[in-house]
Amino acid sequence: MIKAKKKFGQNFLQDQGVLSKIIKAIPNETTPNFIKNVVEIGPGLGDLTFWLLNSGFLLTSYEIDDELVPILNEKFQKEVKEGRFRLINKDANEAWREQQSLSDKPYILVANLPYYVATKMILSALQDELCVGVIAMTQKEVALKFACKGEDSDFSALGVLANLNGSCELLFDVAPECFEPKPKVVSSVLQITKSHELLGEFGLFKNLSEYKNFGEFLKICFSAPRKTLLKNLSSRFDKNLLNQLFLEMNLNTNLRPHESNVALYLEIYKQIKADNERKQQRSNG
* DSSP annotation of 176: G
CB neighbour list of residue 279: distance below 8 Å, 6 or more residues apart: none
Task: State yes or no: 250 annotated in a binding site.
Answer: no
**For residues 240 and 232, what is the distance between their CA atoms, to the nearest angstrom?**
14
Task: State yes or no: 275 annotated in a binding site.
Answer: no
**For residues 177 and 182, what is the distance between their CA atoms, to the nearest angstrom?**
6
CB neighbourhood size of 81 (10 A): 9
CA distances from 240 to 84, 246, 248, 272 (A): 59, 10, 12, 12
CA-wise closest residue to 266 among 231, 229, 215:
215
Contact 166, 214 (CB under 8 A): no
Task: State yes or no: 11 annotated in a binding site.
Answer: yes
Q: By CB neighbour count within 10 A (0-12 exposed, 13-18 middle, 19+ buried), where does 75 fall?
A: middle
Task: State yes or no: 19 annotated in a binding site.
Answer: no
Respond yes or no on whether the N-terminal peptide bond of residue 181 is cis (omega within 30° of 0).
yes
The alpha carbon dihedral of 211, 261, 151, 187 has a sign of negative
CB neighbourhood size of 16 (10 A): 11
Q: One-letter amino acid identity for 106? A: P
CA-wise closest residue to 85 among 117, 51, 135, 114:
51
Contact 37, 105 (CB under 8 A): yes
Annotated binding residues for S-adenosyl-L-methionine = 11, 13, 42, 63, 91, 112
Annotated binding residues = 11, 13, 42, 63, 91, 112
